[in-house]
Each structure stands twice: as C-alpha cells, then as structure tokens.
Amino acid sequence: MTIHPIEFRYGTEEMKNIWEEENGLKKLLEVESMLATAEGELGMIPKDAASTIEAKAGEISLKRVKEIEEEIGHDIMAVVTALSESCGDAGRWVHFGATSNDMIDTAHALQIKETIEILEGRLMGLLTVLIDLAEKNKNKVCAGRTHGQMAIPTTYGMKFAIWAAEIGRHLNRMGEMKGRILVGKLSGAVGTMASFGSKGMELQELVMEKLGLKAAEISNQVIQRDIYAEYFFWLANVATTLDKICIELRTLQRTEIGEIRERFGEKQVGSSTMPQKRNPIKAEQVCGLARIIRSYIEPALMNNTLWDERDLTNSSCERVILPEASILTDHIIRLTTKILKGIEFDDKKIEENLYLLDGLNLSEAMMIELAKRGIGRQKAHEILRIMAMEVYRTREKPKDILLRDDTVKKYFKEGEIDEILDPKNYIGMSKAIVENVLDRLNEGYNIKGNKI
C-alpha cells in the first residue's frame, strides 16, 4: 500500500535511495563500524574486536533490526543488538561509550552530505540551462512589467541572467554552509565525553576524519539544531527561487500575454472538459511544492529549542522533514530545469506586447530627452504625466498628444519622437549587463562548453 505522493509521484530514485530505511541503517552501521575501528586504534577496545565489528557491520539486515525493535521498542538499541549478536564475543564492544544520537546525528550528516552532492549537480545543470537561455536571448527585447503594469522595455536575456545569478548565489551559499552543517558528534549522553575518558576528543576527531565529516565543536546529547535549520533555510531559499521563476513563466503563459509556453506533448491533455487548454501544470507543481518546502522552516527552528541537554521532540519531526524537504527540493530543481529546457517563445506575441501601448511605456525615455534639452526633469515629468492621463482618457496615441504640446514641439521633430518612443531603442546597458553576469558565472563555475 502506498500513501505518500513521494512514494509514487514526486522525487527521483537517486534522492529517495539516500533517505530510504536501508540507507539510513547502512549509515548507522558505518558510524558504529568507524567508532569501533577508531577505538581499536586508540587502544580503547581490543583491536581484534574492532576488526570483527567492522567486518560484520555490512551484514546486518533491516529485517532483523525491525524484529528486535518490535521487542524492545528502541530503534538504535535494535541496531546495536543486531550488530552485537552477529559479532560473537566481540559484540560486547559494540557501541562502546556512545549514546544513540552520536549515531543518529552523525548518520544524518552522512545522508545530508550525499544529498548536497546531488543537489549541487542539479543546480549546476539548471545554471547551465539558464546561462544558455540568457546568452541566446540577450537581444530579445520584451515589455518589462512592474506592479503587474507594463513598464519600460527589458530583454529576455535579463530575465534569465537574473535567475542564473541567483542560482549561482545558492551554489555559493552551499559551499559556505558545508563546513557548518556536515558535522558529526561522539560526545556521549550530555556532551561531556565522560564515557570515552581522556581520549574522547581525539576519538571524535578520528572517527569524523574517517567519515569525511567535521567534528562538532561542542554539543550536548545532540548536534545543535541551528545547524540543521541552516540546511532547511537553504532548501527553502532554493525552492523560493524556483517558485519565483515558475510564477514568472506562468504569468508569461497567460492567454492575454502569451509570450512563452511550456513544451506540450503530442498526446498531452490539458483539461478533461476543455480540449484547447495548454495549462502550465509543471510550473504550477513547482510553485505548489515550494510551499511545502518552505513550511519546514518553522519545525526546523523549533527543533533547536529542546529541554535542557535534549528531549525527544525533534526526533519524530526530523524523520518527516529531513527526507521530505530533501526529496522535494531535488524534484523541483529537476522539474524547473526540464521546463526551461523545453520553453517555447512566441516572438510575434512578444513583439505585439512590446508595441501594445504605442510608446506610452516610453514616457521615461521622452522625459529624459526633454530634460537633456533644457526643460528640466520635474517639468518634463509633469508634461509626460499629463500626456499619459490624456491617453488613458481618450485612447489617443502618445505621439499625437505630444505633438500638440508647444514645449515638446519646440524641441522635437515628429521623426525624433518616433525614435524615442520605439521600445527597441531603450534597453540601456542590458546586453553588457547580461554578458558581464554570464562571463562571471562561466568563469566561476567552469560552465562554458558544457553540454546542455
């Protein structure tokens, strides 16, 4: 029986495999194995016992662990018992000096490490697609919009470059946070390492080195959850960028705007009752799941407010939010990349929208030119404001109203006004801005030449 949509609808097998029970057990046993190995090297347990524990750690089945847990009601002790019974006499040294969360938190760090490696690759793929789109569309002039109203022109290259720069920042943040979140602990019941004696700090450093993690600077029974919260904030931040991208893609697909479309399969159905529909369902899915990912921030923060040296309120919560947030973020990065790879432009509609207002959206350009010719910026602004209000009232063309203004006629000929009110003549430094961003990203992430 399947219940959760992650089981059958969302997520890649690659990411799901990281968070499935089998891999969780594998990581716990890996930590137990490295603990025994390090303790053997430091003379804390017999070396032959450590060797036996390391050899047997890979043989423990989830089925046996589940059977024991059913009897004793403790998941980590079930792992410890299953490993101990398979090690014979050496089993008495399994989990020596450790507490449950030494295993759990360190195993989680290993799973997060694997997750980040996948997410980094996904973001690099998305960044490559955005850079390609920005490069190909840096000269594609389109209507800019602010407050949902048409503003001065921009380019599609600018849109894609803005998103590319944002993904680049997420990759930078990932690099910065790795050293803070990929940490494990072996500090015992309240963090004092009393059970490990004088070799506690040395043992912790050695085990984490073997596992490819950093040792926690200080902990109580658990890694402090501000560390996990940073991971969830990062996931939510990435998800929000994807949400932003897909909201814009959905807006631009509105029938009244119609400048782009999601790729639509030959046999794809848009609606069960309206055969003509081409709904942006993939972009909508990204936006919907981004809401779920963002919602994990509050429980992640609350997990840092545990009683005293710890309570158990974080545990059940993290069993849900760690896998779900990781799997869903991976899913929507991949989905956004797929949408952007297949995006279709309607150049005719882009051109139509660009000239929809007959130059009214170039009022700024006209104001700047009036100011340059000696009228003054504030007076020029008022002339253009009055003109705009007249356009809204009468539906006349902006140029016709401007040519009736004595001040404007004094400084401009009709042909000059046409040139100023042409949207394609007012895109500023957009091409250079895009090229600067792309040069930096290509150089910083070695993307140039990558196959898309």
CATH code for the domain in which residue 118 is found = 1.20.200.10
Say yes or no: 329 and 369 in one domain: no
- Walk along the chain (452 residues) and give the pLDDT tens digit of each residue: 889 999 999 999 999 999 999 999 999 999 999 999 999 999 999 999 999 999 999 999 999 999 999 999 999 999 999 999 999 999 999 999 999 999 999 999 999 999 999 999 999 999 999 999 999 999 999 999 999 999 999 999 999 999 999 999 999 999 999 999 999 999 999 999 999 999 999 999 999 999 999 999 999 999 999 999 999 999 999 999 999 999 999 999 999 999 999 887 777 777 767 777 788 899 999 999 999 999 999 999 999 999 999 999 999 999 999 999 999 999 999 999 999 999 999 999 999 999 999 999 999 999 999 999 988 899 999 999 999 999 999 999 999 999 999 888 888 888 999 999 999 999 999 999 999 999 999 998 876 544 43
pTM equals 0.93
Q: Are both 195 and 303 inside the same structural domain?
A: yes
Q: What pLDDT, on the 0 to 100 scale, is given for residue 449?
A: 46
pLDDT attached to residue 168? 97
Boundary of a domain, candidates 293, 320, 353: 353
Whether residues 171 and 234 fall in one domain: yes
Range of the domain at 341: 100-264+274-353
Q: Are residues 370 and 294 in the same domain?
A: no
**Active-site residue, selected from the candidate residues 61, 74, 271, 295:** 271
Active site residue 147: yes
144 and 87, same structural domain? no
The answer to whether the beta carbons of residues 87 and 56 sit under 8 Å apart is yes
Q: Given 84, 147, 316, 331, which residue is catalytic? A: 147
165 CB neighbour count, 10 Å cutoff: 18
- Do 383 and 335 lie in one domain? The reply is no
Structural domain total, the chain? 3
Q: What are the CA-CA distances from residue 296 to residues 248, 261, 299, 335 (Å)?
A: 24, 31, 6, 20
Does residue 320 share a domain with residue 199? yes
* Cα pseudo-dihedral 194, 196, 200, 204, rounded to 10: -120
CA distance 227 to 102: 15
Is residue 73 located within the same domain as residue 148? no
Residue whose entry in the numeric block shows the structure tokens 């043989």: 59
> Residue 149: beta bridge partners?
146
Residue 173 · residue 180 · CB < 8 Å: no
Question: Has residue 171 been placed in a domain?
Answer: yes
Residue 9, domain member (yes or no)? no
Element (DSSP H or E) covering residue 144:
strand 141-146
Please indicate whether residue 271 is annotated as part of the active site.
yes
Asked if residues 172 and 8 have their Cβ atoms less than 8 Å apart, the reply is no
CATH of the domain at 393: 1.10.40.30
What spatial distance separates the first Cα and last Cα of the chain, rounded to whole Å? 38
Question: Residue 294 domain-assigned?
Answer: yes
Give CA angle at 216 (214, 218), nearest 5°: 160
